[in-house]
């Protein structure tokens, strides 16, 4: 999957001049912000071309984001369904904006139903996809209860937040990015992606796994910064992840998905503590329980 020749691309970081107020003093200085720009995802199938989503994202790993989004929504089922991904080279589009449009060419003969994608026409970095899908939709797509997967030590779970934070290079510079990280059952980090939107970070992570032909991820853990929502659990379910951890709280529908499809869901993972909302039997605890 080759990129088209470069015109002009915005980076993942943007400089800004600010006034800093501190202890009664004011000074001018430069600050580094996480870049946020729209990305339009277009499907190309034969002579047909259709915009299926617009999301606000941090530039970088755009092809992974598009591939992960399409996989999570059931439009594609493997990397072989993608014939190619490229940035827009439409001469009618301003050159500066070409890197905000991604064309995904599907393999010949691959049909898809565009109706489920209508709710995704616009997504925000803050709350993900607008609208709420139902558990019945996941069942209709053929999503099955996940296999048992690995047993994981609670000590490994405790170690994940620090490993996540240490690997967030862009967050260290900007302080304004979410992350999604893939770990094995021994706590080793395999991949991490960052974005202003946690849903985008998750799509980038699973897009990487798809194109590297590592799916399904039945022996892996995923940790996300922020909270876990329905969309996060949906993406993890489709990717086959049996254990999902989050720094903050899950939503009620995220818990419903976890309980129905066999996902161990962990929330408030910080300061050597966490809550388990579904399937705690995957977690081994050697320490004695508190009273």
More confident residue, 109 or 282: 282
Query: Distance between CA atoms of 218 and 73, rounded to whole angstroms?
Result: 19
Catalytic residue (choose from 127, 130, 143, 236): 127
Burial category of 177 from C-beta neighbours within 10 Å (exposed 0-12, middle 13-18, buried 19 and up): buried
Residue 130 known to be catalytic: no
Query: Distance between CA atoms of 224 and 235, rounded to whole angstroms?
Result: 12
pLDDT by residue (tens digit) across 133-176?
Answer: 457 777 767 789 999 988 999 999 999 999 998 887 665 655 56
Residue 291 has pLDDT above 70, yes or no: no
pLDDT by residue (tens digit) across 49-91?
Answer: 889 999 999 999 999 999 999 999 999 999 999 999 999 876 6
What confidence category does residue 240 fall into, taking pLDDT thresholds of 50, 70 and 90? very high
Task: Delineate the domains of the chain, giving CATH numbers in brackets.
Answer: 37-131 (3.10.20.10), 152-284 (3.40.140.10)
Read off the pTM: 0.86
pLDDT by residue (tens digit) across 3-23?
Answer: 433 334 568 888 889 888 988
For 238-246, what is the mean pLDDT?
Answer: 97
């Amino acid at each position: 999957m080759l990129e088209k020749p470069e015109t002009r691309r915005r980076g993942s970081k943007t400089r800004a001049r600010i006034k800093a107020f501190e202890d009664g003093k004011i000074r001018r200085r430069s600050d580094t912000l996480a870049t946020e720009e729209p990305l339009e995802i277009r499907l190309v199938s034969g002579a047909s071309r259709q915009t299926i989503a617009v999301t606000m994202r941090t530039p970088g790993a755009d092809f992974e984001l598009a591939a992960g989004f399409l996989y999570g929504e059931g439009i594609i089922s493997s990397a072989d369904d993608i014939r190619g991904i490229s940035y827009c080279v439409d001469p009618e589009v301003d050159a500066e904006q070409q890197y905000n449009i991604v064309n995904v060419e599907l393999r010949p003969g691959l049909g898809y139903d565009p109706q489920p994608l209508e709710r995704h026409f616009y997504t925000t970095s803050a709350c993900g996809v607008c609208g709420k899908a139902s558990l019945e939709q996941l069942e209709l797509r053929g999503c099955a209860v996940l296999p048992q997967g690995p047993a994981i030590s609670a000590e490994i779970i405790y170690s994940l937040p620090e490993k996540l934070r240490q690997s967030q290079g862009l967050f260290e510079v900007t302080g304004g990015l979410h992350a999604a990280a893939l770990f094995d059952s021994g706590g080793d980090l395999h991949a991490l992606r960052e974005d202003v939107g946690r849903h985008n970070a998750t799509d980038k992570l699973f897009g990487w796994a798809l194109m590297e032909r590592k799916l399904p991820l039945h022996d892996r853990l995923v940790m996300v910064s922020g909270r876990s929502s329905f969309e996060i659990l949906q993406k993890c379910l489709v990717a086959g992840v049996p254990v999902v951890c989050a720094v903050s709280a899950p939503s009620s529908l995220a818990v419903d998905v976890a309980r129905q499809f066999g996902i161990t869901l962990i929330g408030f993972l910080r300061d050597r503590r966490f809550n388990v909302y579904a399937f705690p039997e995957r977690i081994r605890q050697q320490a004695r329980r508190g009273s």
